[in-house]
Amino acid sequence: MAHNVVVVLSNAPDALLAKRIAHVLVEEGLAACVNLGAPSLSMYMWEGQLEGSEEIPLAMKTTQDRVQALTERLVQLHPYSVPEVLVVPVIGGLQSYLDWVRAQTAPQ
- As averages over each run of 10 residues, the pLDDT of the chain (108 residues) reads 83 98 98 98 95 97 97 97 96 95 92
User: What one-character DSSP code corresponds to residue 17?
Assistant: H
Looking at residue 2, what is its pLDDT?
Answer: 47
CA–CA–CA angle 64, 31, 27 (5° rounding): 145
- Identify the domain containing residue 65 by its residue range: 5-105
Would you state the pLDDT for residue 93? 94
What's the number of domains the chain is made of? 1
Give the per-residue pLDDT at 3.
Answer: 58
User: % helix / strand / coil in the chain, to the nearest 5?
Assistant: 35, 35, 30
Q: Compute the residue count for the chain.
A: 108
pTM: 0.94
- Domain with residue 46: its CATH number is 3.30.70.120
DSSP string over 21-74: HHHHHHHTTS-SEEEE---EEEEEEETTEEEEEEEEEEEEEEEGGGHHHHHHHH
| pLDDT in the model for residue 1 | 47
> Within 10 Å of residue 45's Cβ, how many Cβ atoms?
8
